[in-house]
């Protein structure tokens, strides 16, 4: 038994699917789900993106086979919500991009689960969820920018800019030496620090004003463009649906 989430499900042949599963115990796995597109299959609903739960797998010669699933959440409400569903697919694709076989993916799995829950909460701004997920995913990968001190001189007070090229915050005196540096209000500095350092369970327990959200969009957006070596396919659809 492994704990995981279905990141993608591709139809194969007439009745089967090939799943990508992100699991806590064995990392990212390709799993063959035989017969799950038959209406009589008890695994039909489980072999679907966003499904989170426990999966019983048999290890074949070259691939895992899905035997049984005990679903904890289907996230069915998400499939009917727009534009939330497009955020959801983007988050799954990012998790797929970072996921590795035979690694402990418990951190990313927890982040995904909490983020999908947050997406279904109408009180939390989707744009904030996107930037928090992206930045926190970098934390899980150990690639996050320096946010608690100026990346050039080390001073901890008066941070007021962010540079993706320097990979961190800058103070007032150092900001002019990074041509790509973007100004951040104190609230935006705090928001980025919060996203990086807060306990995971509290990640979505804050809000920002629209002007601060715009600064986060720019800073984290540029950071992601630089960090990812290709654009996520689902990002194009997300950008169309959200005017981003």
Enumerate binding residues for Zn ion (CB under 5 A): 150, 152-153, 171, 174
Residue 223 CB, shortest distance to Zn ion, in Å, is 19
CB of 195 to Zn ion, least distance (A): 21
d(CA 180, CA 195): 22
Least distance CB 119 / Zn ion (angstroms): 36
Measured from the Cβ of residue 149, the count of other Cβ atoms closer than 10 Å reads 15
Q: Least Å distance between CB 193 and Zn ion?
A: 16
Minimum CB distance to Zn ion smaller for 6 or for 169: 169
Dist CA 71 CA 52 (whole Å): 6
Nearest to 84 by CA among 244, 225, 241: 241
Closer Cβ to Zn ion, 156 or 233, answer by number: 156
Please state the closest distance from residue 169 (CB atom) to Zn ion, in A: 9
CA distance 158 to 170: 9
Asked whether the beta carbons of 213 and 125 are under 8 A apart, the reply is yes
Of residues 9 and 152, the one with the C-beta less far from Zn ion? 152
Residue placing its CB nearer to Zn ion in the complex, 153 or 205? 153
CB closer to Zn ion, 26 vs 166: 166
Closest among 4, 23, 22, 20 to 12, alpha carbons compared: 20
**For the stretch 169-196, what's the b/e string if a residue is b when 16 or more beta carbons lie within 10 angstroms of its beta carbon?**
bbbeebbeebeebbebeeebbbbbebbb
Q: Where are the alpha helices (DSSP H) in 120-185?
A: 126-141
Q: How far is the CB of 180 from Zn ion (least distance, A)?
A: 15
Q: Which is nearer to Zn ion, 6 or 178 (CB)?
A: 178
Instruction: Let me know: does 31 contact 50? Beta carbons within 8 Å.
Output: no
């Amino acid at each position: 038994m492994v704990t995981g989430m279905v990141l993608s499900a591709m139809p194969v042949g007439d009745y089967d699917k090939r799943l990508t599963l992100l699991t806590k115990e064995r990392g990212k796995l390709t799993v063959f789900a035989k017969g799950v597109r038959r209406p009589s299959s008890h695994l039909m609903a489980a072999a679907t993106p966003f499904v989170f739960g426990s999966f019983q797998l048999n290890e074949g010669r070259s691939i895992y086979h899905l035997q049984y699933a005990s679903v904890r959440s289907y996230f069915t409400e998400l499939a009917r919500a727009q534009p939330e569903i497009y955020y959801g697919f983007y988050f799954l694709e990012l998790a797929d991009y970072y996921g590795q076989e035979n690694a402990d993916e418990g951190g990313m799995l927890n982040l995904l689960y909490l983020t999908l829950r947050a997406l279904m909460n109408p009180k939390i701004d989707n744009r904030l969820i996107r930037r928090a997920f992206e930045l926190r995913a970098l934390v899980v990968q150990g690639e996050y920018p320096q946010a608690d001190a100026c990346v050039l001189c080390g001073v901890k007070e008066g941070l007021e800019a962010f540079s993706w090229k320097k990979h961190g915050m800058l103070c007032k005196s150092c900001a002019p030496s990074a041509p790509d540096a973007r100004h951040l209000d104190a609230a935006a500095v705090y928001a980025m620090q919060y996203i990086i350092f807060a306990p995971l369970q509290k990640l979505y327990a804050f809000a920002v004003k629209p002007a601060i959200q715009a600064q986060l969009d720019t800073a984290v957006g540029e950071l992601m463009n630089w960090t990812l070596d290709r654009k996520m396919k689902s990002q194009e659809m997300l950008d169309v649906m959200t005017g981003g």
